[in-house]
Structure 1
Amino acid sequence: MSVWDEVTGQPQAVETLQRAVRGSREHADDPQAFTNSWLITGPPGSGRSTAAYAFAGALLCPNGGCGKCESCVQVRSRSHPDLTAVVTETLIISIDTARELVSRASRSPMNADYRVIVVEDADRMMERTSNTLLKAIEEPERTTVWVLCAPSETDLLPTIRSRVRTVGLRTPDVSDVADLLVRRHGVDRAVALRAATESQSHVGMAARLVTTPEAWDRRDRALVGVLGMASVGDAVRKASEWVAIADEDGKAASEDRDEQERKEMFRSLGLETGTAIPRQLRGIFRDLEENQKRRAKRATLDGVDRILTDVQSLWRDVLMLQLDAGVQLVNESQRPEIESAARSSEPSRTMASIEAISVARERLAANVPPTLALEGLLVGYVARQAHA
């Protein structure tokens, strides 16, 4: 057992990070062997945060990442006193969070040789926030290690990129993801392969599919009927259904947590759950509710983005058949509909539909209401099909 066991299909990255761990022990003052500021990049689902925490675990473990000791267990549960984990649950990382990180970075470790700060979504930092962290990353304390995660180097400011050592991840093979699902969740390999394929090797989404049947059902509902849409009315109804599915997905992920946070707030303030909240404490509960609303908004947008990724895979399958590419379909369960759509259209129109997904994402990023952005995407698809 090792902290690296969960890092799937990334042998080169693991080798680089393991070499750095050895360097941190043997040549900590040699910048060629070890540096205190890192950036882990890779496409969605490649396991950026998994690699980051494996690296953190190996740095904090007295045995270099055994995966069994108390330190490794604490890193897995994110409770290690020398680990700071920044998980973005809203649309951006706030400047207050950045200031708190700078403060923590100046403190000496309590139990281990290092204090490790993992920022899972460093691409969600605005310029002002990034500049707040700049000096701490450029001239870190000798015992502080920064590990930033982002889809690519270009998602960060040049001033940050020039001060970190980058480790790039690739999309893991379907078979590697399936192996992980079988090992971690004990599912049948055929189920694991389907989940790995339909998630397009997205480790987190594949795990969600095999552990949450409702998530798989929502994916199937989102895709059913898409290729057969023939009117603007069909497009408008499907867009509305997608938003409802995304809301449902977000609520499924947050409802239990929201309730638990509210109960914990009552407990921490010495109140009985469900009792009237004293007037002087209502502001605290309002702040909690506002934070939960911001988190819910991001959860819905994340759900919409997952649907767009799945629909892109559907249109990709159509294009692959039109081009006679001879590759495996992502959505094999929908082969008859995909074959019919491939026969009734042309590659250029299918490619235009795929490219339109990028436009929809740009509109969502510009705060266009999800329903409008999705209606525009699907009405365009129907119009192209009508001229096929």
Structure 2
Amino acid sequence: MFHIKIKLCVSFILLISWCATAQIPNYNYERSLKGISDDWHSVTIPDNVFGKLQPSFQDIRIYGINEKMDTIEVPYYLKVNKDHLVIKEHSCQIINSSKTDDGYFYTIKLNQQSDISDIKLLFADANFDWKVNLEGSHDQKQWFNILENYRILDIDNTSTNYSYTNLKFPTANYLYYRIAVKSDKQPTLTSVHIFMQKLTDGILIDYKVKEIKTSQDKKMKSSEVEFELVNPVPVSSMKINVNGSNDYFRPISMQYLLDSVKTEKGYLYNYTTFKRGTLTSLEDNEFEFNSTMAKKFKMVISNGDNQPLDIKSVEVKGFKYELIARFTESADYKLVYGNKSVHKPQYDIINFKNNVPVNIKALTVGNENQISKKNVQSKTSLFDNELWLWSIMGIVILILGGFTYKMLGNTVKD
């Protein structure tokens, strides 16, 4: 009798295991993949796919059906083609300061001659607007111009807190640098930081912006600029182009639409802030930030007592997202996605990225098709819900525990 119970339980466990592994993936969409010729390929995620994925992209898979009608799951890892910035700071010291009719001069010596591209000046002063010249020399006898009439400034008041004291220039290699500050009073230069920045550009995609709508809030003395993209996509940078040649410094809050609620008076939109900064005529007004998945955006510009800015256009970009996948056999492969309950896949290749060939061919991604659920639901409706599986497994564990308890009891009696 005991052996029969054990066999029954084993059969029950095997049935549960089979049901768990035989679940048909309940995805909503599929796209064909064409052009497979090697072991490794890349698959660029189309723009109109992002809005149908879970936030962590865990519900995207590559499946294939071979000649034996077996299902093959293709391992992949997600690659985001971001910029890669390497910053190296070089130690230095201010060895001389002087004054002439042309301004105040500071001579800086690097501890070791190296390539540099940025010098950050820190002043104890506030609310200044100065022009500076930058020169380089190998021996302090012959000086070479690097920057001329370069503008630095600091604004600190109730409406604006902005400082721009970074000197940026093409890579230079000198042992000595001389900074001339054109000021009526002596600046209080507290420290100098010298860097070499090397940027490896990522791959950016331009996203089309629909019509820009601008409105004014006279009470708050601010402008609101609203715009929308064609699809929800991961956005990582925005460039705001302003008409006019006048100088300006305006605090800006960049927001995206989090959700909306329909009321009797219409929709109420809930925006959340993802970036704060300053619009200024001194810079390109290009803002970079962590990738943000959104479709509808709003920018709030604080004007103070100034005339509103004329926003000419907004350029929106995001890094290229692609799957790096390994194909091992001939099959009919498809990209499938759209599943709210599936977990993130665990593939070995995530730990072996260095073994992927440098130049791999991109596959052609077909048009989107919606997956029919008629046959799938009738066969797997009971086991699609993980709660059923865990409940049944719990019952089995209780039964096995009861059998074990009885066995121990019988052993004690004997």
With the shorter chain as reference, the TM-score category is under 0.3
Structure with greater strand percent: 2
TM (norm. structure 2) is: 0.22
TM (norm. structure 1) is: 0.23
Query: Using CA pairs below 8 Å that are at least 6 residues apart, which structure has the higher relative contact order?
Result: 2
Higher CA-based Rg: 2
Structure with greater helix percent: 1
